[in-house]
């Protein structure tokens, strides 16, 4: 089948898509025939990333550089439309940092989402996919956690995501919008071209830090707590390849076309890995030893969070297909490409 013409599917506004996850989704959407407008203040990304999205997506992405919280910036982005649907990635996104900077997290993640809602209303756009997070669950009482589990976030970051979900659900009800809240578990990996990935300056997430140790840029990895009550004592998370996550967005985006109301889905693999298992996979992928030290458990770290992702599989037909080794191999490929720049 010939490639779809750029823009033949319509126009997407993707907030925060110069960043890690949004960049992968933007490329996939462009390859599927969407025109993509990115609104991003580049506070945690770069213009270079936008250029790489254009190159991989096969068309020029339009960037509106500015703050999501600013109605005039939003109006500039919507004026490039008509905008058929919005993918809302822009946010501050570090749970530990949010404990120390709660006001900034509420301003961007809640204030920005409210500003986006008002702009969608002004411009008549009714389809939205929102980047939520497993942080809304805190330490869930049931593993794997289903969507029906009450939300009980433990950090300001998780709380802002729960408020975002509520806001978009209320808008869907009041305005007959179609909204999908995707609760991502732990996205890692990179684009198979190794031209896109998670910025190495993301120093508080496990995989970027492991990569720094493997590249010899850091002496050792600190494992925070070895007495979490898990089989090897380290925290367990549900890691998902960013390309699987991007595919989930495409499926949800398609579903917004012929539905209304609000749905929330877990997006994970359903399989948890401990910090020590991730380190071992990184050793396999890099061929380097990863020296470890043990630090005190951090109060924000819950012991185990793994998704029950059966709902999105049943209702939208999506499931993750890539393994932990795939994630680490692509993370290494991206990190090596980055080091050559």
List the interface residues with ligand NAD, window 32-61 (CB under 6 A): 40-45
Structure tokens at 87: 């993918």
State the nearest-atom distance from the C-beta of 236 to ligand NAD, in Å: 15
Please state, in angstroms and rounded to a whole number, the distance separating the CA atoms of residues 124 and 134.
Answer: 30
Structure tokens at 66: 């500015």
Rule CB under 6 A: say whether 274 interacts with ligand NAD: no
The size of the interface with ligand NAD (CB under 6 A), counted in residues, is: 27
Contact 68, 120 (CB under 8 A): no
Closest residue to ligand NAD using C-beta atoms: 19
**Which of 16, 144, 189, 225 is in the footprint of ligand NAD by CB under 6 A?**
16
Rule CB under 6 A: say whether 21 interacts with ligand NAD: yes
To the query of whether residue 137 is one of the catalytic residues in this protein, the response is no
Sign of CA dihedral 183, 44, 114, 98: positive
DSSP class of residue 18? T
**Which of 18, 36, 117, 279 is in the footprint of ligand NAD by CB under 6 A?**
18
Annotated catalytic residue within 157, 184, 265, 273: 157
Contact 57, 31 (CB under 8 A): yes
Please state, in angstroms and rounded to a whole number, the distance separating the CA atoms of residues 197 and 205.
Answer: 13
Contact 252, 169 (CB under 8 A): no
Q: Which is nearer to ligand NAD, 46 or 176 (CB)?
A: 46
List the interface residues with ligand NAD, window 118-147 (CB under 6 A): 131, 133
Q: Which range binds ligand NAD by CB under 6 A, 66-74, 168-176, 294-302, 311-319?
A: 66-74
The binding track of 232-271 with respect to ligand NAD, each residue x by CB under 6 A or -, is ----------------------------------------
DSSP letters, 185-233, are -EEE---TTSSS---TT-TTSHHHHHHHHHTTSSS-EEEE-S-SSSTTS
State the nearest-atom distance from the C-beta of 1 to ligand NAD, in Å: 30
List the interface residues with ligand NAD, window 170-199 (CB under 6 A): 184, 186-187
Residue from 40, 50, 337, 77 nearest 195 by CA: 337
Rule CB under 6 A: say whether 301 interacts with ligand NAD: no
Q: Where are the alpha helices (DSSP H) in 32-130?
A: 47-57, 71-78, 95-100, 102-105, 112-123
State the nearest-atom distance from the C-beta of 242 to ligand NAD, in Å: 8
Please state, in angstroms and rounded to a whole number, the distance separating the CA atoms of residues 238 and 284.
Answer: 19
Q: Which range binds ligand NAD by CB under 6 A, 1-9, 86-94, 218-226, 279-287?
A: 86-94
**Which of 9, 19, 155, 272 is in the footprint of ligand NAD by CB under 6 A?**
19
Q: Catalytic positions, please?
A: 157
Point out which residues bind ligand NAD (CB under 6 A). Answer: 16, 18-22, 40-45, 67-69, 89-93, 108, 112, 131, 133, 184, 186-187
């Amino acid at each position: 089948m010939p490639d779809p013409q750029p823009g033949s599917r319509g126009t997407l506004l993707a907030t925060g898509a110069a960043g890690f996850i949004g960049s992968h989704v933007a490329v996939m959407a462009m390859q599927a025939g969407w025109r993509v407008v990115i609104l991003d203040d580049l506070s945690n990304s770069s213009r270079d990333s936008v250029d790489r999205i254009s190159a991989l997506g096969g068309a020029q992405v339009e960037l509106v550089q500015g703050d999501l919280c600013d109605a005039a910036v939003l109006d500039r982005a919507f004026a490039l439309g008509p905008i058929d649907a919005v993918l809302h990635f822009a946010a501050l996104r570090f749970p530990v940092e949010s404990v120390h900077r709660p006001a900034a997290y509420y301003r961007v993640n809640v204030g920005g989402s409210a500003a986006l809602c008002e702009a969608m209303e002004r411009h008549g756009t009714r389809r939205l996919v929102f980047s939520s997070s497993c942080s809304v669950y805190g330490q869930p009482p049931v593993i794997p956690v289903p969507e029906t589990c009450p939300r009980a976030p433990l950090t300001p970051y998780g709380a802002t995501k729960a408020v975002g979900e509520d806001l978009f659900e209320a808008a869907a009800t009041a305005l007959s919008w179609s909204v999908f809240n995707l609760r991502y578990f732990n996205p890692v990996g990179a684009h198979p071209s190794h031209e896109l990935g998670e910025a190495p300056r993301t120093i508080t997430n496990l995989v970027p830090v492991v990569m720094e140790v493997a590249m010899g840029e850091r002496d050792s990895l600190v494992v925070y707590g070895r007495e979490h009550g898990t089989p090897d004592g380290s925290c367990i998370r549900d890691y998902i390849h960013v390309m699987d996550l991007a595919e989930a967005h495409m499926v949800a985006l398609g579903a917004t076309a012929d539905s209304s109301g609000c749905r929330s889905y877990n997006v994970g693999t359903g399989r948890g890995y401990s910090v020590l298992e991730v380190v071992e996979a990184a050793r396999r992928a890099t061929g380097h030893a990863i020296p470890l030290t043990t630090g005190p458990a951090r109060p924000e770290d819950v012991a185990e969070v793994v998704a029950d992702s059966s709902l999105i599989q049943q209702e939208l037909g999506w499931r993750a297909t890539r393994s932990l080794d795939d994630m680490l191999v692509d993370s290494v490929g991206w990190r090596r490409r980055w080091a050559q720049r």
